[in-house]
Amino acid sequence: MGLDASSDRQAMQAANDAPMDPQDWVEVARDADARRARHHLLVLQSVSIPHGVAQLDDGSQALLVRRHQSRAAREQLERYDRENRAWPPREAPFEPLPAGGHAAILYGGLLALVHIFVIEGRQGVDWKAIGRNASELVSQGEWWRVATALTLHSDLAHLAGNIVFGATFGLILSQGVGIGVAWLGILAAGAVGNWFNVALRDAPHSSIGASTAVFGALGMQVAVEWARRGQTRSTALRRWAPVVMGVGLLAWSGMGGITVETSAADRDAILDKVDVGAHLAGFVAGASLGLSAARLDLGRRLSPRAQIALALCVPAILVLAWLRALATLG
Distance CA 221, CA 26 (A): 55
pLDDT band at 7, cuts 50/70/90?
very low
Statement: residue 110 has pLDDT above 90: yes
pTM assigned to the model: 0.69
Mean pLDDT (whole number) for 195-204 = 87
Name the residue among 60, 63, 59 with its Cα closest to residue 77.
Answer: 63
217 with 171, same domain: the answer is: yes
Within this chain, do residues 50 and 193 fall inside the same structural domain, yes or no? no
From 48, 83, 118, the end of a domain falls on 83
| Per-residue pLDDT, 11 | 46
Determine which helix (DSSP H) or strand (DSSP E) holds 166, and give its type and residue range. Answer: helix 156-177
Per residue in 113-153, pLDDT tens? 999 999 998 888 999 999 999 999 999 999 999 999 999 99
Mean pLDDT of the chain: 83
Residues in the chain: 330
Per-residue pLDDT tens over the stretch 146-194:
999 999 999 999 999 999 999 999 999 998 899 999 999 999 999 999 9
Q: Tell me the per-residue pLDDT of 271-306, one tens digit each, with 9 for 90 and over.
A: 566 788 889 999 999 999 999 999 999 988 999 899
Say if residue 63 is in the same domain as residue 14.
yes
Q: Do 44 and 76 form a contact (C-beta atoms < 8 A)?
A: yes
Alpha carbons 289 and 293: distance in angstroms, whole number: 6
Calpha distance 120→143 (Å, rounded) = 26
Question: Which stretch of DSSP H or E encloses residue 189?
Answer: helix 179-199
Which of 49, 83, 117 lies at the terminal end of a domain, its last residue? 83
Structural domain includes residue 147? yes
Higher pLDDT, 12 or 251: 251
- The boundaries of the domain holding residue 43 are 2-83
Check whether residue 109 and residue 165 sit in a common domain. Answer: yes
Who's near 190: CB < 8 A, 6+ residues apart?
146, 147, 150, 210, 212, 213, 214, 216, 282, 285
Domains in the chain, number: 2
